[in-house]
Chain A
Amino acid sequence: MSLTNDYIKQRLVEKFGEALTSFEESFDVLTFTAPAALNLKVMQFLYDDEELQFRFLTDLTAVHYPHLPDAELAVVYHLYNFREKVRLRMKIFVPVAAPQVFTATKLFESANWMERETYDFFGVDFVGHPNLKRILNVDEMTYFPMRKEFPLEDQSRIDKDDEMFGR
Protein backbone atom coordinates (compact mmCIF):
# COMPACT_ATOMS: atom_id res chain seq x y z
CA MET A 1 0.00 0.00 0.00
CA SER A 2 1.41 3.35 -0.89
CA LEU A 3 1.17 6.21 1.51
CA THR A 4 -1.14 8.93 0.19
CA ASN A 5 -1.41 12.50 1.36
CA ASP A 6 -5.09 11.96 2.16
CA TYR A 7 -4.25 9.05 4.44
CA ILE A 8 -1.50 11.01 6.23
CA LYS A 9 -3.92 13.87 6.76
CA GLN A 10 -6.59 11.48 8.06
CA ARG A 11 -4.17 9.93 10.55
CA LEU A 12 -2.98 13.34 11.76
CA VAL A 13 -6.51 14.61 12.23
CA GLU A 14 -7.48 11.42 14.10
CA LYS A 15 -4.56 11.91 16.47
CA PHE A 16 -4.45 15.69 16.95
CA GLY A 17 -7.93 16.81 15.92
CA GLU A 18 -8.42 20.53 15.53
CA ALA A 19 -4.89 21.42 16.63
CA LEU A 20 -3.44 21.06 13.15
CA THR A 21 -4.58 23.63 10.60
CA SER A 22 -4.01 24.95 7.10
CA PHE A 23 -3.73 21.61 5.35
CA GLU A 24 -2.74 22.09 1.73
CA GLU A 25 -0.77 20.46 -1.02
CA SER A 26 1.89 22.27 -2.95
CA PHE A 27 3.96 20.41 -5.52
CA ASP A 28 2.37 17.18 -4.23
CA VAL A 29 3.79 17.76 -0.75
CA LEU A 30 1.31 17.80 2.12
CA THR A 31 1.76 20.96 4.18
CA PHE A 32 0.15 21.86 7.49
CA THR A 33 0.54 24.18 10.44
CA ALA A 34 0.97 22.97 13.99
CA PRO A 35 0.93 24.90 17.28
CA ALA A 36 4.47 25.68 18.45
CA ALA A 37 3.99 23.72 21.67
CA LEU A 38 3.05 20.57 19.76
CA ASN A 39 5.94 20.44 17.29
CA LEU A 40 7.78 17.60 19.03
CA LYS A 41 4.62 15.59 19.71
CA VAL A 42 3.59 15.73 16.05
CA MET A 43 7.06 14.80 14.82
CA GLN A 44 7.35 11.98 17.35
CA PHE A 45 4.01 10.59 16.20
CA LEU A 46 5.08 10.81 12.55
CA TYR A 47 8.35 9.12 13.46
CA ASP A 48 7.01 6.28 15.59
CA ASP A 49 3.90 5.35 13.65
CA GLU A 50 4.42 2.04 11.84
CA GLU A 51 2.67 3.27 8.71
CA LEU A 52 3.83 6.88 8.53
CA GLN A 53 7.52 6.39 9.36
CA PHE A 54 8.74 9.93 8.72
CA ARG A 55 12.20 9.23 10.07
CA PHE A 56 14.38 11.64 8.16
CA LEU A 57 14.61 15.40 8.63
CA THR A 58 15.44 16.76 5.18
CA ASP A 59 15.47 20.41 6.05
CA LEU A 60 14.72 22.86 8.80
CA THR A 61 14.63 26.58 8.30
CA ALA A 62 12.64 29.68 9.14
CA VAL A 63 10.76 32.41 7.30
CA HIS A 64 10.10 35.92 8.54
CA TYR A 65 6.63 37.32 7.86
CA PRO A 66 6.73 40.83 9.32
CA HIS A 67 3.06 41.44 8.46
CA LEU A 68 1.66 38.63 10.64
CA PRO A 69 1.23 39.97 14.18
CA ASP A 70 2.42 37.55 16.90
CA ALA A 71 3.27 34.95 14.26
CA GLU A 72 6.14 36.66 12.52
CA LEU A 73 8.54 33.75 12.49
CA ALA A 74 7.63 30.49 10.78
CA VAL A 75 9.82 27.46 11.43
CA VAL A 76 9.51 24.95 8.60
CA TYR A 77 10.30 21.25 8.92
CA HIS A 78 10.68 19.03 5.88
CA LEU A 79 10.23 15.37 6.77
CA TYR A 80 10.81 12.36 4.57
CA ASN A 81 9.69 8.75 4.54
CA PHE A 82 12.47 6.77 2.91
CA ARG A 83 10.45 3.58 2.46
CA GLU A 84 7.48 5.17 0.68
CA LYS A 85 9.42 8.13 -0.80
CA VAL A 86 6.90 10.60 0.60
CA ARG A 87 7.64 14.11 1.75
CA LEU A 88 5.85 16.23 4.32
CA ARG A 89 6.11 19.86 5.35
CA MET A 90 5.23 21.14 8.79
CA LYS A 91 5.15 24.79 9.82
CA ILE A 92 4.93 26.36 13.22
CA PHE A 93 4.52 30.06 13.90
CA VAL A 94 5.99 31.98 16.84
CA PRO A 95 6.06 35.70 17.67
CA VAL A 96 9.33 37.42 16.91
CA ALA A 97 9.35 38.90 20.40
CA ALA A 98 9.37 35.44 22.03
CA PRO A 99 10.75 33.01 19.46
CA GLN A 100 10.99 29.94 21.69
CA VAL A 101 10.66 26.57 19.96
CA PHE A 102 11.40 23.11 21.34
CA THR A 103 14.50 21.59 19.80
CA ALA A 104 14.23 18.57 17.54
CA THR A 105 17.77 17.40 18.30
CA LYS A 106 16.57 14.57 20.55
CA LEU A 107 14.62 13.15 17.64
CA PHE A 108 16.94 13.94 14.73
CA GLU A 109 20.70 14.41 15.16
CA SER A 110 20.74 16.38 11.93
CA ALA A 111 18.65 19.10 13.56
CA ASN A 112 21.71 20.17 15.54
CA TRP A 113 23.40 22.01 12.63
CA MET A 114 20.17 23.22 11.04
CA GLU A 115 18.82 24.70 14.25
CA ARG A 116 22.08 26.48 14.90
CA GLU A 117 21.93 27.90 11.39
CA THR A 118 18.29 28.93 11.85
CA TYR A 119 19.21 30.61 15.12
CA ASP A 120 22.15 32.32 13.44
CA PHE A 121 20.10 33.88 10.67
CA PHE A 122 16.62 34.26 12.18
CA GLY A 123 17.16 34.28 15.92
CA VAL A 124 14.81 31.38 16.65
CA ASP A 125 15.55 30.22 20.20
CA PHE A 126 15.55 26.42 20.16
CA VAL A 127 14.88 25.44 23.77
CA GLY A 128 17.02 22.47 24.80
CA HIS A 129 19.51 22.65 21.95
CA PRO A 130 22.89 21.41 23.26
CA ASN A 131 25.02 24.15 21.67
CA LEU A 132 22.93 27.05 20.41
CA LYS A 133 25.43 29.61 19.13
CA ARG A 134 26.30 31.20 15.80
CA ILE A 135 27.63 28.84 13.19
CA LEU A 136 28.16 30.65 9.85
CA ASN A 137 28.37 34.31 10.83
CA VAL A 138 31.01 35.98 12.96
CA ASP A 139 30.47 35.57 16.69
CA GLU A 140 30.50 39.35 17.23
CA MET A 141 27.38 39.85 15.11
CA THR A 142 24.60 41.46 17.15
CA TYR A 143 21.65 41.00 14.81
CA PHE A 144 19.90 38.29 12.80
CA PRO A 145 20.59 39.16 9.19
CA MET A 146 17.84 37.22 7.40
CA ARG A 147 15.01 38.93 9.26
CA LYS A 148 13.14 41.36 7.09
CA GLU A 149 13.74 44.35 9.30
CA PHE A 150 16.57 46.04 7.44
CA PRO A 151 16.40 48.56 4.60
CA LEU A 152 17.84 47.24 1.33
CA GLU A 153 20.60 49.81 1.39
CA ASP A 154 21.81 50.90 4.78
CA GLN A 155 22.97 54.51 4.42
CA SER A 156 24.58 54.56 7.85
CA ARG A 157 27.18 51.95 7.00
CA ILE A 158 30.75 53.03 7.53
CA ASP A 159 32.61 49.99 6.24
CA LYS A 160 32.05 51.02 2.62
CA ASP A 161 34.24 53.89 1.50
CA ASP A 162 31.85 56.10 -0.49
CA GLU A 163 34.62 58.40 -1.61
CA MET A 164 36.37 55.66 -3.56
CA PHE A 165 33.46 53.36 -4.34
CA GLY A 166 30.62 55.78 -4.98
CA ARG A 167 27.21 54.23 -4.76
Chain B
Amino acid sequence: MARPVQHNTKVKMVEMPKGYSGEGFFATSFDKVIGLARKNSIWPLPFATSCCGIEFMATAAAHYDLARFGAERMAFTPRQCDLLMVMGTIAKKMGPVLRQVYLQMAEPRWVIAVGACASSGGVFDTYSVLQGIDQIIPVDVYVPGCPPRPEAILDGFMKIQELVGQESLRRRHSEKYKELLNGYGIQ
Protein backbone atom coordinates (compact mmCIF):
# COMPACT_ATOMS: atom_id res chain seq x y z
CA MET B 1 0.00 0.00 0.00
CA ALA B 2 1.26 3.48 -0.90
CA ARG B 3 2.28 5.70 1.95
CA PRO B 4 -0.21 8.50 2.68
CA VAL B 5 2.54 11.12 2.58
CA GLN B 6 4.62 11.47 -0.56
CA HIS B 7 7.99 13.09 -0.31
CA ASN B 8 9.28 15.20 -3.14
CA THR B 9 12.20 13.30 -4.56
CA LYS B 10 12.78 15.68 -7.46
CA VAL B 11 14.59 18.37 -5.50
CA LYS B 12 16.82 20.42 -7.78
CA MET B 13 20.17 21.60 -6.52
CA VAL B 14 22.09 24.54 -7.99
CA GLU B 15 25.06 23.63 -10.09
CA MET B 16 28.49 23.76 -8.56
CA PRO B 17 30.62 26.65 -9.79
CA LYS B 18 33.64 25.91 -11.93
CA GLY B 19 36.79 25.23 -9.98
CA TYR B 20 39.49 22.76 -9.12
CA SER B 21 38.76 19.82 -6.93
CA GLY B 22 40.82 16.98 -5.60
CA GLU B 23 40.62 14.66 -2.69
CA GLY B 24 39.36 16.67 0.25
CA PHE B 25 39.46 20.11 -1.34
CA PHE B 26 37.62 22.31 -3.81
CA ALA B 27 39.01 25.61 -4.99
CA THR B 28 37.13 28.35 -6.81
CA SER B 29 36.87 32.13 -6.68
CA PHE B 30 35.00 34.14 -4.06
CA ASP B 31 33.06 35.90 -6.82
CA LYS B 32 31.42 32.68 -7.87
CA VAL B 33 30.68 31.29 -4.41
CA ILE B 34 29.36 34.51 -2.98
CA GLY B 35 27.39 35.19 -6.16
CA LEU B 36 25.86 31.73 -5.92
CA ALA B 37 24.91 32.21 -2.29
CA ARG B 38 23.50 35.68 -2.87
CA LYS B 39 21.43 34.88 -5.90
CA ASN B 40 19.70 31.96 -4.25
CA SER B 41 18.86 33.71 -1.01
CA ILE B 42 17.59 37.12 -2.04
CA TRP B 43 15.50 38.89 0.57
CA PRO B 44 12.90 40.98 -1.24
CA LEU B 45 11.38 44.15 0.13
CA PRO B 46 7.96 44.54 -1.52
CA PHE B 47 7.04 48.19 -2.04
CA ALA B 48 3.56 47.61 -3.39
CA THR B 49 1.26 50.55 -4.01
CA SER B 50 -1.36 49.24 -6.42
CA CYS B 51 -2.49 46.46 -8.75
CA CYS B 52 1.03 45.19 -9.51
CA GLY B 53 1.24 44.51 -5.79
CA ILE B 54 -1.75 42.20 -6.10
CA GLU B 55 0.01 40.32 -8.88
CA PHE B 56 3.03 40.08 -6.64
CA MET B 57 0.90 38.52 -3.90
CA ALA B 58 -0.04 35.81 -6.39
CA THR B 59 3.62 35.46 -7.32
CA ALA B 60 4.58 34.92 -3.71
CA ALA B 61 1.70 32.53 -2.98
CA ALA B 62 1.64 28.76 -3.42
CA HIS B 63 0.84 28.49 -7.14
CA TYR B 64 3.71 30.58 -8.53
CA ASP B 65 5.79 30.22 -5.37
CA LEU B 66 8.58 32.75 -5.27
CA ALA B 67 10.07 30.58 -2.52
CA ARG B 68 11.42 28.26 -5.20
CA PHE B 69 14.08 30.91 -5.84
CA GLY B 70 15.12 31.16 -2.22
CA ALA B 71 13.18 34.38 -1.81
CA GLU B 72 10.37 33.37 0.50
CA ARG B 73 11.67 35.66 3.20
CA MET B 74 9.86 38.96 2.60
CA ALA B 75 11.14 41.53 5.00
CA PHE B 76 9.50 44.85 5.66
CA THR B 77 12.58 46.52 6.98
CA PRO B 78 14.85 47.93 4.30
CA ARG B 79 17.95 47.45 6.44
CA GLN B 80 17.98 43.69 6.00
CA CYS B 81 16.86 43.43 2.38
CA ASP B 82 18.75 42.93 -0.85
CA LEU B 83 16.09 43.59 -3.44
CA LEU B 84 13.67 46.50 -3.54
CA MET B 85 10.62 45.47 -5.58
CA VAL B 86 8.66 48.59 -6.55
CA MET B 87 5.22 47.58 -7.72
CA GLY B 88 2.69 50.23 -8.58
CA THR B 89 2.17 53.90 -9.27
CA ILE B 90 4.54 56.15 -7.37
CA ALA B 91 3.06 59.60 -6.88
CA LYS B 92 5.49 62.49 -6.72
CA LYS B 93 4.62 62.86 -3.06
CA MET B 94 5.66 59.24 -2.49
CA GLY B 95 9.00 59.81 -4.26
CA PRO B 96 10.99 61.00 -1.22
CA VAL B 97 9.60 58.09 0.82
CA LEU B 98 10.72 55.56 -1.77
CA ARG B 99 14.10 57.20 -1.96
CA GLN B 100 14.45 57.08 1.81
CA VAL B 101 13.63 53.36 1.78
CA TYR B 102 16.31 52.82 -0.87
CA LEU B 103 18.87 54.81 1.11
CA GLN B 104 18.23 52.70 4.19
CA MET B 105 19.07 49.47 2.38
CA ALA B 106 22.58 48.17 2.88
CA GLU B 107 24.90 47.47 -0.06
CA PRO B 108 24.76 45.39 -2.15
CA ARG B 109 21.20 46.30 -3.13
CA TRP B 110 19.17 45.80 -6.25
CA VAL B 111 15.97 47.39 -7.54
CA ILE B 112 13.31 45.95 -9.79
CA ALA B 113 10.57 48.18 -11.26
CA VAL B 114 7.49 46.03 -11.78
CA GLY B 115 4.83 47.28 -14.17
CA ALA B 116 4.32 50.23 -16.47
CA CYS B 117 3.75 52.75 -13.67
CA ALA B 118 6.92 52.04 -11.73
CA SER B 119 8.90 51.89 -14.98
CA SER B 120 7.55 54.95 -16.79
CA GLY B 121 4.52 56.41 -15.07
CA GLY B 122 2.29 54.22 -17.21
CA VAL B 123 -1.08 55.67 -18.17
CA PHE B 124 -0.72 58.33 -15.47
CA ASP B 125 0.92 60.91 -17.69
CA THR B 126 0.00 63.67 -15.27
CA TYR B 127 1.30 66.31 -12.89
CA SER B 128 1.04 64.25 -9.73
CA VAL B 129 2.74 61.01 -10.77
CA LEU B 130 6.44 60.27 -10.96
CA GLN B 131 7.27 59.30 -14.56
CA GLY B 132 9.27 56.22 -13.65
CA ILE B 133 11.14 55.50 -10.43
CA ASP B 134 14.47 55.71 -12.27
CA GLN B 135 14.11 59.47 -11.88
CA ILE B 136 14.98 59.12 -8.20
CA ILE B 137 16.75 55.77 -7.73
CA PRO B 138 18.78 53.49 -10.03
CA VAL B 139 16.86 50.50 -11.38
CA ASP B 140 18.37 47.14 -12.37
CA VAL B 141 15.46 45.37 -14.07
CA TYR B 142 12.20 46.67 -15.56
CA VAL B 143 9.21 44.36 -15.88
CA PRO B 144 6.69 45.52 -18.52
CA GLY B 145 2.96 44.95 -18.21
CA CYS B 146 -0.11 46.63 -16.79
CA PRO B 147 -0.06 44.74 -14.54
CA PRO B 148 2.46 42.06 -15.47
CA ARG B 149 1.41 38.46 -14.94
CA PRO B 150 3.19 36.53 -12.17
CA GLU B 151 5.22 34.74 -14.85
CA ALA B 152 6.58 38.12 -15.97
CA ILE B 153 7.46 39.06 -12.41
CA LEU B 154 9.24 35.73 -11.99
CA ASP B 155 11.08 36.36 -15.25
CA GLY B 156 12.20 39.74 -13.95
CA PHE B 157 13.23 38.11 -10.71
CA MET B 158 15.34 35.57 -12.58
CA LYS B 159 16.99 38.41 -14.50
CA ILE B 160 17.88 39.92 -11.13
CA GLN B 161 19.28 36.56 -10.05
CA GLU B 162 21.50 36.54 -13.15
CA LEU B 163 22.76 40.02 -12.31
CA VAL B 164 23.36 39.09 -8.69
CA GLY B 165 25.15 35.86 -9.54
CA GLN B 166 27.48 37.48 -12.05
CA GLU B 167 28.24 40.70 -10.22
CA SER B 168 31.87 41.32 -9.47
CA LEU B 169 32.64 41.77 -5.78
CA ARG B 170 34.46 44.98 -6.65
CA ARG B 171 31.60 46.58 -8.52
CA ARG B 172 30.13 48.44 -5.55
CA HIS B 173 33.51 50.03 -4.83
CA SER B 174 34.17 51.09 -8.40
CA GLU B 175 34.32 54.67 -9.59
CA LYS B 176 31.64 53.94 -12.15
CA TYR B 177 29.18 52.82 -9.48
CA LYS B 178 29.94 55.90 -7.39
CA GLU B 179 29.28 58.02 -10.46
CA LEU B 180 25.96 56.28 -10.98
CA LEU B 181 24.87 57.00 -7.43
CA ASN B 182 26.14 60.55 -7.61
CA GLY B 183 23.99 60.95 -10.71
CA TYR B 184 21.04 60.40 -8.37
CA GLY B 185 22.47 62.66 -5.70
CA ILE B 186 23.33 59.74 -3.43
CA GLN B 187 26.73 59.86 -1.73
Query: Once the chains bind, are B135 and A159 in contact (CB under 8 Å)?
Result: yes
**Which of chain A's residues has its CB closest to B116's CB?**
A165
User: B100 to nearest A CB, angstroms?
Assistant: 15
Q: Does B131 contact A (CB under 8 A)?
A: yes
Q: Does B93 contact A (CB under 8 A)?
A: yes
Cα(A150)–Cα(B93), bound, Å: 21
Interface residues on chain A, number (Cβ under 8 Å): 11
Cα(A161)–Cα(B131), bound, Å: 8
Q: Does A160 contact B (CB under 8 A)?
A: yes
A interface residues (Cβ-Cβ under 8 A, vs B)? 136-138, 141, 145, 159-161, 164-165, 167
User: A9 to nearest B CB, angstroms?
Assistant: 40
**Which of chain B's residues has its CB closest to A154's CB?**
B127
B135: chain A residues within 8 A (beta carbon): 159
A165: chain B residues within 8 A (beta carbon): 120
Interface residues on chain B, number (Cβ under 8 Å): 11
Cα(A136)–Cα(B93), bound, Å: 8
Write out, one digit per residue, whether chain B residues 90-120 have a CB within 8 A of any chain A CB (1) or not (0). Answer: 0011010000000000000000000000001
Query: Once the chains bind, are A160 and B131 in contact (CB under 8 Å)?
Result: yes
Write out, one digit per residue, whether chain B residues 129-155 have a CB within 8 A of any chain A CB (1) or not (0). Answer: 001100100000000000000000000
User: B128 to nearest A CB, angstroms?
Assistant: 6
Q: Can you list 16 contacts pairing A with B, beta carbon distance less than 8 Å?
A: A136-B128, A137-B92, A137-B93, A137-B127, A138-B92, A138-B93, A138-B95, A141-B127, A159-B131, A160-B120, A160-B125, A160-B131, A161-B120, A164-B120, A165-B120, A167-B125
A137: chain B residues within 8 A (beta carbon): 92-93, 127-128
Cα(A9)–Cα(B131), bound, Å: 50
**Which of chain A's residues has its CB closest to B91's CB?**
A138
Q: Does B44 contact A (CB under 8 A)?
A: no
Query: Once the chains bind, are B120 and A145 in contact (CB under 8 Å)?
Result: no
A161: chain B residues within 8 A (beta carbon): 120, 131-132
Write out, one digit per residue, whether chain B residues 67-100 have a CB within 8 A of any chain A CB (1) or not (0). Answer: 0000000000000000000000000110100000
Q: Does B121 contact A (CB under 8 A)?
A: yes
Query: Once the chains bind, are B127 and A145 in contact (CB under 8 Å)?
Result: yes
Of the candidates B92, B95, B121, which one forms a contact with A160 in the assembled complex, judged by CB atoms under 8 Å apart? B121
Cα(A59)–Cα(B131), bound, Å: 32
